[in-house]
Structure 1
């Protein structure tokens, strides 16, 4: 039985099926389960250490809530509530108290952990280099069309004023593109991260 099938079975036994639940991927990589609802989606990742990370995303694609679900039934209850349109504050305070929201720094750390533990293989090298640099680690990672972008923590995804992207030429070479500027030359992973950090330090 797949994890999606297990979740569906639990939901049906509780009298609230999850017909839209499937496996697949979100922009950060593969997921064990994903549920699209009227306010974007919730995704579930099962970690090698046995934990289950639930992430809830708003209509802009921003991470709205996140947390380690204690058990399968907690995942099901979260997904059912999200499917039924329970508002985020109530979702976190009454239905899924393991969920955290409203802490931008913690949200950024969660995104880095997703990329590190569950991200696409072709991004592993640049994610490792960028996440090891304190200046870059403070930025919000965002993946679009297979490219790692780093956004200033206070800028919304769809209103970015300060950001940059690592355009891959292969898994170990990148061109750094600072938004509203030219695309830089091909660099190895370490040099690309250093270039990005020097720019981000001026923001």
Structure 2
């Protein structure tokens, strides 16, 4: 029971951190690309809680495969769209890489993805938080490969082909249904676990 509670809290915290680290750099980049914005709107990006999607965090806790709530961008030109999309992918990859490096350096696990139940609650919470940050970030990377209009891939498509972007907007509902199906059945989570076990 103690381990389950620690894992639940660690997954929740990791999901929140990954969501913020995914969206906040994009919001900063958006501000730098749109310097003529209203100063009040520029300050809105620092409300970090706005990047935490309620449904996304639920999936992070239960399936380790969620999605963040994107900042409301005004997509003005292709270059900005492409940079924002790439920034999202890069930020998720960096979170994944940093988490894996810390796990390896700290040597938190005595063997491959195993833990010692006799460890203190704080140590276990730290271990699981790192593990879930790595897992959720790489899974969220895969989630953002889906051509949902507000996801990173959607931004990249908007940059390369506005006509295709409008077509994915029309099919947004079907794409999201497919995404939810994939998340619920843990297809992306299984792939991410496999990658993580190979690295660790």
**Structure-1-length-normalised TM-score:** 0.24
Please identify which structure carries the higher helix content: 2
Please identify which structure carries the higher strand content: 1
Greater relative contact order structure (CA < 8 Å, 6+ sep): 2
